[in-house]
Structure 1
């Protein structure tokens, strides 16, 4: 049995030839060689393993589970949904709570944690979507930004996660 995990891509070199250690730790042989030190990362949140946490098998980085959910490839695939093609999970732009859309009605949602309203597609507080028309949504102002689905990697950068 091989110790190399073909499906785990290194966040440093973006190659798939990595070796899983105990727990969530993974080592990248390519990055270790180029950096001239052992390069380890968390396969869950895809960030470099903290050097002072080498003895633990669980990731100690903040928001590890939140990042893992946001990095998930799962998308909403309901063909009748106004949020079809969006990532299944989103982080509230207000409080970073993990949210999903129920796939019914308007793409706008309100965070149950902080009451911030935003569009689940583009993550903006107000947008314009000419493809979606629902009597439950307020009239669109032509001066608003067009609604384009943002991917979660962009959201992670914006939220500092």
Structure 2
């Protein structure tokens, strides 16, 4: 009776008018988004709500809009609401906020953003940077504006400096921090590292996975260890970016 009653409630919800707690408009239930905390809002309000937090750089407050609820918004839903480009920005901003809350993060010399000239400090690890001021992506190594990970495909600029890879065993780096946060939040959607068996989570379209536990690089699609991303991913290899 339990599952049947739940299905009936869902069917009734989708067919009847519901009131959005944000705009107070009435729409058919099929036009609403229901969060895991069971609060629901019209899709238009949820899209505006998520867009505003990305634009205002307040991703740490990007949770259920109901005051004091704090329920999470699943990354899959965020991606649907934000689109690929803004979702990638959410990932980067979330990482930056995580690092800003840590007292033991080691910052390197800052570089000027090539778009707006704001000084941006680099945390250890990835050379793909996002400017906190204008939101543009740029390469820390060559200081050029880039569209995304494709910039690193030909190997001219490395996504992860070899020096950092050698030192990862001795210091906690931001990729490990992000990996641990993702496992805690989205562990139900995790997969095991082919090297150590630890759980990792793919968030976004990038199939180049960095294991936070053993610090190995591997491919999400074929589960093979990746020595150089520019050699493994490409026309003759696995696709680096796929949906899901």
The answer to whether TM tops 0.5 is no
- Structure 1 or 2: more helix by fraction: 2
TM interval, short-chain normalised: under 0.3
Bigger relative CO (Cα 8 Å, ≥ 6 apart): 1
TM-score normalised to the size of structure 1?
A: 0.27
